[in-house]
Amino acid sequence: MLETWLEHYGYFAILLGTFFEGESVLLLGGALAHRDVLSLPLVALAAFVGAVAGDQTWFRIGRHYGPAYLARHPNLQKHHARADAMLDRFGDWFVIGFRFIVGIRSITPLLLGTTPFRAPRFLVLNVLGCALWSCAVTAAGYFLGAGIKELFDRAGHIEELVLGAIVVLAVLFALTRTFWVRAKRPPVTTDPKSQA
């Protein structure tokens, strides 16, 4: 039953998870691909689509509402300063690789949207970065799955119970994180005073 559900909805879960951030969901997808529950190329493709869509959405939000959002969240200024410094130092390489940088990867598209960085250039570099990221993390999950399978081969039928628990925990983690982040963020609205 679990495998049937994963075959039908697993790719959508990966796409949705990577839209919001998604390393844990993608690692699990790679591990499931090793078990032939999911297709390895389709896991990477779903992650790629989700990551590009998420980054482009946050970039557009940053472009339209970013300054007002940053004004209401002064604690993001340190991340903004760090992202600006890395953009100045590494240029396009930073835009390609920010998904691999812990601490700023989820906020960087929004922050880049507040800068004069051109949207078409961001799209091209982001597509390249998301392709590298989705392939690398999917492969890491696949090889992690190989190691887990070797352990489970020695453990007998406990494998399916643990796999089910991992899936449930990953989904709960992703949902909790998403709702927690949304609950902390006030709704993004345009403030006429901030635009004046």
Say what the pLDDT of residue 196 is. 45
Enter the pTM of the model.
0.72
Tally of CA atoms within 13 A in the half-sphere of 114 that contains its CB: 19
Q: Residue 156: which domain range? A: 2-195
Contact status, residue 40 vs residue 138, Cβ threshold 8 Å: yes
52 contact partners, CB below 8 Å, separation of at least 6: 126, 127, 130
Q: Which two tokens stand for residue 59?
A: 């970039």
Say what the pLDDT of residue 185 is. 53
Say what the pLDDT of residue 43 is. 92
Q: Angle 172-177-183 (CA atoms, 0-180°, nearest 5)?
A: 125
Task: Extract the residue ranges of the chain whose pLDDT is less than 50.
Answer: 192, 194-196
Check residue 156 and give left, alpha or beta (phi > 0: left; psi -120 to 50: alpha). left
Say what the pLDDT of residue 15 is. 92
Alpha-carbon span 70 to 125, nearest angstrom: 24
Say what the pLDDT of residue 97 is. 92
- Give me the residue label for tokens 């699990």: 28
Say what the pLDDT of residue 93 is. 94
Contact status, residue 20 vs residue 174, Cβ threshold 8 Å: yes
Say what the pLDDT of residue 3 is. 63
> Based on the structure, what is the number of domains in the chain?
1
Contact status, residue 102 vs residue 15, Cβ threshold 8 Å: no
Residue 40 burial (CB count, 10 A): 19
In Å, what is the CA distance from 130 to each residue of 61, 138, 139? 19, 12, 14
Say what the pLDDT of residue 184 is. 56
Tally of CA atoms within 13 A in the half-sphere of 109 that contains its CB: 26
Contact status, residue 68 vs residue 194, Cβ threshold 8 Å: yes
Say what the pLDDT of residue 101 is. 83
